[in-house]
Structure formats: structure tokens, C-alpha cells
Amino acid sequence: MVEFIKNANFDFVSKFKFTSVLSIGLVVISLFGLFSKMNYGVDFRGGAEIQVKFAEALPLEALRKSLKSGGFKNVSVQTIGEKGDNEFLVKVPGDEKNLNALTESVGTALKTGLADSAPKVRKVDIVGPKAGASLRIAGFQAMGWALIVIMIYIGLRFDFKYSPGAIVALFHDVSIILGIFAFTGTEFTLQTVAALLAVIGYSVNDTVVIYDRVREHEEREPDVGDLVTFINRAANETLSRTILTSGTTLFVALSMFFFGGLAIKDFFFAISLGVLVGTYSSIFVAAPVTLLFDTLKKKNEFSVKANA
């Protein structure tokens, strides 16, 4: 493996007090945004998805402007299919009572404002508020189950003292990404859930690499150092690998974010954030929590021996 930083000897553990306060603050702010400012897409709050085809090429901005002129707010528009298909997916939020009328109004507005482009409504999908709420719950449940399974995996693969650190780190990553989505007004959709599940997998992989190196030192040199020493060694020894892996992944994610088109922009926005936050949390969130639980375990063992 290429080593960008040879013989690294950074004292990561000494920074844990500062980074712990920073992470707690970011998570609290993110949770506030999640519960008060999150912009849920049509998938999760109910509305209509209208697939429209035009006879000639039409700029995306022209379609947005036409819908806005027709009085439709919070409308999401994206291209679908090949470039020459001239097809768009229009997502309009609405409640259960007016969804059919809303769909007809959108079709009328398009045919009136963009008559020269000969718009044709090809398909209409209606998502009721109840169905949207169910999808929203199912999305969060999927992330919850992923965290539980990962906790079990970490416990079986290493030791259960490592599991809390991995789970807290993943919760930290997901919370901050959701918080950024909330404060930037980016729509939270099924695409976002898929991206977050990918981030969970990426982040835990990075954490496992460091845990694996810590365990190697614990088994090979049990009398040479403590967990603090082993964590610093593991983080330094895997630093080049972390920079290489995270750097290349981030490069691809940002390339897709900037040049991949609007249809996948939000997905790779979440992936890019996940790479940055996940790389940080593998060292500065997972490791401090592991240290905390190890300290509590030793105190408990000492207390039991003292009372025996």
C-alpha cells in the first residue's frame, strides 16, 4: 500500500475531549433540524408524481418557471430517460382530498404555459399522506435495523466493548447528514435513505479497519501498552490507507454530484457528506466511546474485586 505519511505519530487521543464536545454539539443541532426543518419529498409526505413528455427539447429551468407561474410551490422537477426523450418527472406535494384535482391542474398549467412544446402526460402516480408516512417510518426502520445488525456483527467479530463505539459513530454520521439536509432545504426522499444505508456500510468498514488493528496490538502486545496507546498506533498505521480510500471515494462522489445530473445529485450529496463525516467519526467518535466503555468496565471490575 502507498504510504502518504510515513512513520506517522499523531496523538489522536489527546484531541478526543475537543472532538467529543464538537460532535455532541453537531448532533444536537442536527436533531433539532431533523425534527423541525426537514423537507420531506413527495415519497414521504404525500403528493403526485407526474411523468411528462415534450415533443421537443425543453430546458429544465423553463419547466420549473412554468409551474411556478401556474401557482405551484415546492415542486420537484427532474429529467428521466435519455437526453433525447425530453421526459420529466414532476413531483407535486398535496393532501389526500385534492390530489386528483391537483394532477389535472398541473396538466392544464403545462399545456397552457408550454403549448409550443406539446406536453403529454404519460403517467401519474399518487401517494397519499398515510402511505407517505408509512414509507417514512419504513425508511427510518431500515436504518435502525442496519445499526442493530452491525452492532451484533462488531460484537461477534471483535468484542462487545467495541460495539457501542461503532453504533454511536454511525448514529453520529446519519444525524449530521440529516441535519445538513434539513438546514440546506434538500429534499429527503427514498434516494436519500438508499444513500444513508450506503454511508452506514462505508463508515462501519472504515471503523472495522481501525478496530482490527487495535485488536492485533492487544493480542500481540498485551503487556506493552494500554488501549489509548493501541488506538493511537492503529489510527497512525492506517492513516495512509484512510486518506487513499476516502480521497478516491470522495473524488468519485463529488464528480457524480457536480456532473451526474439532477436525478442523482441529492444521492451523491449524501454520499460525499458521508465519506467526510464517516472518516472523521471512525477515529474521533468510535474510539472515544470505546475508551469510555473500557474505562467503565475496568472500574466495575475493580469495584467487584474490592467488595469481594
Q: How far apart are CA 127 and CA 1, in angstroms?
A: 50
User: Of 27-31, 54-58, 243-247, which has the strongest mean pLDDT?
Assistant: 27-31
Could you read off the pLDDT of 156-209 as tens digits, one per residue? 877 777 888 888 998 999 999 999 999 998 888 888 888 998 888 888 888 888
The helix/strand/coil state of 232 is: helix
Q: Extract the C-alpha cell encoding 238.
A: 492506517
Give residue 103's pLDDT.
78
Share of the chain above pLDDT 70, in %: 92
**pLDDT band at residue 307 under the 50/70/90 scheme:** low
Residue 209: closest CA among 246, 247, 164: 246
**Does pLDDT of 87 surpass 90?**
no
Could you read off the pLDDT of 106-138 as tens digits, one per residue? 878 887 777 777 788 887 777 777 777 788 888
**Does pLDDT of 8 surpass 70?**
yes
In the DSSP assignment, the letter for residue 14 is G
Residue 180: closest CA among 19, 30, 25: 30
CB atoms within 10 A of CB 23: 22
Give residue 264's pLDDT.
84
Could you read off the pLDDT of 34-51 as tens digits, one per residue? 999 888 877 787 777 888
Give residue 140's pLDDT.
85
Compute the chain's Rg from CA coordinates. 24
Q: How far apart are CA 169 and CA 283, in angstroms?
A: 9
Question: Would the CA dihedral through 166, 168, 169, 175 be positive or negative?
Answer: positive
CB 233 within 8 A of CB 13: no
Q: How far apart are CA 30 and CA 307, in angstroms?
A: 43
Residue 27: closest CA among 165, 168, 192: 168
Q: How far apart are CA 113 and CA 38, in angstroms?
A: 31
